[in-house]
Amino acid sequence: MCLPGRCCSVISRPAPRKEVVIKHYLTILAVLVSSALLATGAGVCAGEPNPLATAKPAETLTNDSIIELQSLNLGDAVIIEKIKASKCDFDVSVNGLKLLKQAKVSDPVIQAMIASKAPSAPKGALATPAVAGDPNDPNAPHELGVWLYEENSGQKKMTRLEPEISRMWMPTGMGFGSAIRAVLTGLHAAVQVSSRRPVCYMYFGEGGQGIAGAGSPNELPLARLTLKEKTNERLLIVGSVAPFGGVNTGIKKDALRAVSAEKMAAGVYKITPQEDLPEGEYGFCYLVSGAMGAGKMFCFAVR
């Protein structure tokens, strides 16, 4: 628009040509595509190695790896986390465990090595109390408890001894010296073995979960039970009446059977009688608060 009395000149610029606009946008598009290709590694020339696509092979931990880590004075927590985060191929056979102990590998680390052999549950699957690994291999992780181990013609077999709840029997009007008995229903245990020195394994768990309240083999002594056929019961004297109405607790010495307890890993013990067991009924006994609490027994029979 011109003001009165003045002349205005309008400078007009030519509109950009259509071909120029298209070329401009194609250039921008080429830059964007090139950047995307470089980001994904697709821009590497054929025949040349792609540093972005090249991955190192996964590290596999072995017994030697653990021994080497132990020699570096790394803490147990560090080594265990390394085991959890790595692919593992451990030898946890009896010979493998012996070599680990000779190398002074700690029990918590060995327990983590054993646990790594357990198969992983499918994603989304519910956890079950089933035994992990080979249920007949004593070196594999097992459900907490007492397990009887047998080997026949090279075939291994492990059987869990289910706990039996005992009840107390105290004679009416009992006087000083009268016996207090723990009583189990039935004359015979469900599990029978032919070996005179049956081998058992106790799995207490690394976290101290325990077995029926017991935290070590010392709290589960092996005792021979007596039979009372008239009432179809197995009995064990677990105390007696003391003077002035008190109670003496503890299993009678003649019923106890000495055993050897060899620690195989954290919370895992191999239990072996020190002498042959005559035919009869036996049980690993846990007495809660002495005789008055009775408790649980893990029983088997030698036949």
Residue from 229, 230, 224, 236 nearest 183 by CA: 236
Same domain for 202 and 78, yes or no, is no
- Do 267 and 214 contact (CB within 8 A), yes or no? no
Same domain for 93 and 159, yes or no, is no
Same domain for 105 and 157, yes or no, is no
Q: pTM higher than 0.85 for the full model? A: no
Same domain for 156 and 288, yes or no, is yes
- Between CA 10 and CA 20 the distance in angstroms is 25
- Between CA 35 and CA 258 the distance in angstroms is 77
Biggest CA pair distance of the chain: 140
SS3 243: helix
Render each residue's pLDDT in the chain as its tens digit; 303 residues. 445 555 444 444 555 555 554 555 556 555 554 554 444 444 444 445 554 445 556 689 999 999 999 888 888 888 988 998 888 999 888 778 888 888 888 878 887 888 886 554 444 444 444 445 678 999 888 899 999 999 988 889 999 999 998 887 765 555 666 788 889 999 999 999 999 999 999 999 866 668 878 889 999 999 999 999 999 999 998 887 776 666 777 888 899 999 999 999 989 999 999 999 999 999 999 876 444 445 789 999 999
The total domain count for the chain is 2
Same domain for 254 and 177, yes or no, is yes
Specify if 38 maps to a domain.
no
Same domain for 200 and 279, yes or no, is yes
Same domain for 72 and 214, yes or no, is no
| pLDDT value for 45 | 46
Same domain for 185 and 245, yes or no, is yes
Range of the domain at 66: 60-115
Interhelix angle 107-115/76-85, nearest 10 degrees: 10
